[in-house]
Amino acid sequence: MAEVTLNNITKEFDGGVVAVKDLSLSITDGEFLVLLGPSGCGKTTTLRMIAGLDTQTRGDIFIGERRVNELRAGDRDIAFVFQFYALYPHLTVWDNISFPLRAQNLPQNEVAKRVNEVATRLRISHLLKKRPGRLPGGEQQRVALGRAMVRQPQVFLMDEPLTNLDASLRADMRTELKHLQQELATTMVYVTHDQIEAMSMSHRIAVLNLGVLQQVDTPLNIYRYPQTLFVATFIGSPPMNIIECSLQGDKLNGVNGHFDYTLTPESGFDTSESNSGYFGIRAEDIMLSAGDSEGDLRGEISIREPLGDETIYRVDIGAYQMTVKTSPKFVLSAGDRVSLTFNRKRIHLFDKITEQSLRTQEAVARV
């Protein structure tokens, strides 16, 4: 068990591609940290650099107290679970799991003890004599996990381990992995592009885009207080409503018209440096009322999507379309005129050029 610290890590590939730009991150001992982002964002590259499978162009990596830059993967006391499991096809499950221990010349009885322990915990004891090539995905996954666990490493590194499983299995494995990590209390760094995995399993999420770290925080904070436009739109389903607008003091005007909004002092935004930006609000933070009653905006229902436990409405407002979530009891039809009211405490504002949140620090602290 150990902390992992990344200081100013940069990775450039031949041909000038910069996969990771100046990344600094501190992962505490026993934490479950998820590296989240779309493909190409640098999350897998970062994971591989922590493992030692790729070398950073600049920067330092520390595992525990040790600087591991010069150490090979095998010497860093980490375990890696690959996306395609990387199980040795010609060895039995038993041999696969005991492989790392035998490579280190552990005594026979110690090897047997650890393998059996791990197999029991992962419920694969009945598979020990089989060849992994014949097993279904979920079981192969667990064998790969077992091979990682049996080494009792300081850090677990996982590269999209659940991506190749089907949906129901994925849901089960999410819970299992979370429990496992809590039991073992080992630091875990986990890469995924799936935000549900990230939100449900992690202590903290590190969001990356195009090699740049966007934000590191607890799932809830990331959801409530996204620091960049990217984080705001990447996290959350359906995606946050975004309206481009001009800023004059506390007045917002939609660039395509039809949108006027005045910020209240409590909302906690500092617009002094910016004169254009993005306004954001999540679908569940908008209240709909029928007719032309008082509200922040007026519009017309375009589509209704009844999901059973909630209903999603697409509302046309001039040139925009906004998405609103309501309770299923609220029923409207296409063409109905509605007015929208925003929850003042839940609006977001981002500078147009920097795409950073304009929320002041005090506003965030006031949780």
Partner 1 sequence: MSSADLSPPTATSNSQTKPIRPTFSWLTDGRLSFLFVTPTLLILLFIAIYPLLWSLSASFTDRTLSQSGDITYIGTDNYQELLTEDRPWERFVVTGQIVGFSVLFELIIGFGIAMLLNRKFAGRSIMMTMMLIPMMLSPVVVALFWRFMMQGDGVFNYYVNDVLGFDSILWLSDRRIIPWAVILVDVWMWTPFMMLISLAGLSAVPKYLYEAAEVDRAGAWFRFRHITLPIVSPLLMIGIIFRTMDAYKMIDIIFVLVGDRGGSGRAAQTAGLYVYDIAFKNFDTGLGSAYGYIMLVVIIALANLLIRQLNSMKGQP
Instruction: Kindly calculate the radius of gyration of the chain based on its CA atoms and give it in whole angstroms.
Output: 25
Interface stretch with partner 1, choices 29-37, 195-203, 246-254, 301-309 (CB under 8 A): 301-309
Asked if 75 touches partner 1 (CB under 8 A), the answer is yes
CB 24 within 8 A of CB 7: yes
Phi, psi of 145 (to 5 degrees): -65, -45
From the list 8, 24, 104, 321, which residue makes contact with partner 1 (rule: CB under 8 A)? 104
d(CA 61, CA 212): 17
Question: Residue 164: which of 78, 86, 51 has the closest Cα?
Answer: 86
- For 249, other C-beta atoms within 10 Å of its C-beta total 10
d(CA 128, CA 130): 6
Interaction pattern, residues 302-331, with partner 1; x per rule: CB under 8 A:
-xxxxx----x-------------------
Q: Which is nearer to partner 1, 13 or 88 (CB)?
A: 88
From the list 151, 193, 204, 359, which residue makes contact with partner 1 (rule: CB under 8 A)? 151
Q: Which is nearer to partner 1, 79 or 216 (CB)?
A: 79
Asked if 129 touches partner 1 (CB under 8 A), the answer is no
Q: Which is nearer to partner 1, 136 or 306 (CB)?
A: 306
From the list 78, 149, 222, 338, which residue makes contact with partner 1 (rule: CB under 8 A)? 78
d(CA 22, CA 17): 14
Asked if 89 touches partner 1 (CB under 8 A), the answer is yes
Asked if 342 touches partner 1 (CB under 8 A), the answer is no
**C-alpha distances out from residue 203 to 7, 32, 42, 43, 218, Å:** 21, 5, 20, 17, 6
Asked if 2 touches partner 1 (CB under 8 A), the answer is no
Chain positions contacting partner 1, by CB under 8 A: 51, 53, 72-75, 78-80, 82, 84, 86, 88-91, 99-100, 103-104, 131, 133, 147, 151, 303-307, 312, 334
